[in-house]
């Protein structure tokens, strides 16, 4: 029997905890829904005071907060709960970096349903859902994404803008492909008053981007481009094309079809900047990037978490001169910079 040696005595605890892992998702969702983290951040630190603030039972709050402590979202000492640094920064609604809105997309009923059909997806080699072709619009889904996922972009968007040299404030024309909430392009525009952004996405999705551009005070430099990235007239002369979390939805020939169009739209010397989950060549590390592939298996016909060498091949095949890899600090994603020859 093919068996790897692990050293430790085998116990069924990991199996038990994995079959219960869905409870972690629901507990965090519930804590966000009830706004437990904000209540603790405001000073309520025992079940009775937290329960009073969030309008729940003392017993339910005690059990939930103990569970959140086990999962690392709270600390507990002498019966009093406190936020971890992480929860204070990302889960309290008082924090500008609050990610509470993520529960509107991650852990949504449609994602959970996809995973309930994982056995079928593994049999078939692609999603068991009716819609797996992400070249077609899926407005409800992508509007939910645009309305929920913006807070997760902060560190990556800042890193992308820095890599792109936005601080130099040179005139710059940026195409944000599958712009969604628009926050990547908007971050470029905020750092560089001479940057102009074209945000490409389905028309109903772009409503979120337009609102965010307005809020950020850069609406006059944000041009919405509604339609399919595979079909719409992209224009030309771009300095930068942003490809954030889009290529993973497609098989390599489809990615190449898109990359060819983007190569044509770039200026000579222009750059495609791709933000992605990029596992190592072993495809099993680092954990979060490697684990992303199974989400694409359940959601799409043929999407994947591609390795760097796979991405290099796609960019090379479509005319790009060179592609370099830049891990985003403290985040599970990486940026690829692919240059069009001057």
- Dihedral of the alpha carbons of 143, 149, 150, 151, in degrees to the nearest 10: 160
- The correct pick among 46, 93, 101, 106 for binding a second copy (CB under 8 A) is 106
Q: Which of residues 68-97 bind a second copy (CB under 8 A)?
A: 69-77, 81-86, 88-92, 94
Q: How far is the CB of 128 from a second copy (least distance, A)?
A: 10
Local structure of 322: helix, strand or coil: strand
Considering only 46, 48, 53, 64, the residue that binds a second copy (CB under 8 A) is 64
Number of residues that bind a second copy (CB under 8 A): 105
Site string for a second copy, 313-332 (x = CB under 8 A): -----------------xxx
Nearest distance, CB of residue 33 and a second copy, angstroms: 5
Smallest distance, a second copy to C-beta of residue 63, A: 5
Q: Buried (b) or exposed (e) across 95-111, using 16+ Cβ within 10 A?
A: beebbbbbbebbebeeb
Closest to 199 in 3D by CA, of 191, 253, 339, 211: 211
What is d(CA 316, CA 134) in angstroms, rounded to the nearest whole number? 23
Q: Distance between CA 17 and CA 117 in Å, rounded?
A: 21
How far from chain centre, in Å, is Cα 139? 18
Q: Which is nearer to a second copy, 71 or 228 (CB)?
A: 71
Instruction: Give whichever of 63 and 341 is closer to a second copy, judged by the CB atom.
Output: 63
Residue list 239-298, contact with a second copy (CB under 8 A): 279, 282-285, 287-288, 290-291, 293-297
Q: Is 231 in the site for a second copy (CB under 8 A)?
A: no
For residue 134, the minimal CB distance to a second copy (Å) is 17
List, as one string, the DSSP characters of 103-131: GGTTT-HHHHHHHHTHHHHHHHTS--SS-
Quote the CA–CA distance of 153 and 54 in Å, as a whole number: 28
Q: How many residues does the chain have?
A: 342
Q: Which of 115, 165, 308, 326 binds a second copy (CB under 8 A)?
A: 115
* Min CB(177)–a second copy separation in Å: 23
- Beta carbon of residue 113, minimum distance to a second copy (angstroms, whole number): 10
Task: Rank residues 103 and 219 by Cβ distance to a second copy and give the closer one.
Answer: 103
Footprint (CB under 8 A) of a second copy, residues 14-43 = 14-30, 33-34, 40-43
Q: CA end-to-end span of the chain, whole Å?
A: 56
Subset of residues 141 to 200 that bind a second copy, contact rule: CB under 8 A: 152, 155
Is 125 a binder of a second copy (CB under 8 A)? yes
Q: Which residues of 145-179 are buried (b: 16+ CB within 10 A; e: fewer)?
A: bbbbbbbbbbebbebbbebbebeeeeebbbbbbbb
C-alpha to C-alpha distance for 282 and 253, rounded to whole angstroms: 22
> Footprint of a second copy on residues 199-228 (CB under 8 A)?
none
């Amino acid at each position: 029997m093919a068996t790897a040696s692990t050293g430790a005595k085998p116990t069924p605890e990991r199996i038990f905890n994995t079959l219960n892992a869905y409870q972690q998702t629901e507990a965090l969702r519930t804590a966000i829904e009830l706004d437990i983290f904000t209540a603790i951040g405001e000073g309520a630190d025992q079940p009775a005071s937290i329960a009073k603030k969030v309008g729940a039972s003392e017993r339910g709050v005690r059990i939930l907060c103990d569970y959140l402590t086990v999962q690392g979202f709270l600390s507990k000492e002498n019966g009093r709960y406190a936020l971890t640094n992480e929860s204070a920064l990302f889960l309290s609604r008082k924090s500008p970096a609050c990610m509470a809105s993520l529960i509107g997309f991650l852990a949504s009923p449609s994602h959970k349903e996809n995973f309930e059909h994982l056995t079928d997806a593994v049999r078939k080699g692609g999603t068991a859902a009716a819609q797996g072709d992400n070249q077609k619009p899926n407005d409800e889904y992508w509007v939910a994404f645009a309305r929920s996922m913006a807070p997760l972009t902060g560190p990556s968007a800042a890193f992308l803008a820095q890599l792109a040299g936005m601080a130099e404030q040179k005139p710059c024309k940026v195409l944000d492909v599958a712009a969604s909430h628009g926050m990547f392009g908007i971050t470029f525009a905020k750092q560089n008053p001479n940057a102009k952004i074209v945000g490409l996405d389905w028309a109903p999705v772009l409503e979120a981007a337009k609102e965010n551009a307005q809020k950020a005070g850069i609406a006059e430099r944000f041009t919405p481009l509604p339609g399919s990235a595979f079909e719409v007239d992209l224009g030309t002369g771009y300095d930068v094309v942003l490809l954030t979390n889009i290529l993973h939805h497609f098989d390599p020939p489809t990615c190449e079809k898109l990359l060819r169009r983007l190569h044509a739209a770039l200026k000579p010397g222009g750059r495609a900047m791709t933000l992605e989950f990029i596992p190592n060549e072993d495809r099993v590390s680092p954990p979060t990037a490697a684990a992303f592939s199974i989400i694409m298996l359940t959601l799409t016909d043929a999407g994947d978490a591609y390795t760097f060498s796979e991405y290099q091949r796609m960019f090379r095949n479509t005319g790009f001169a060179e592609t370099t890899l830049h891990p985003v600090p403290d985040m599970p994603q990486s940026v690829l910079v692919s240059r069009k020859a001057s």
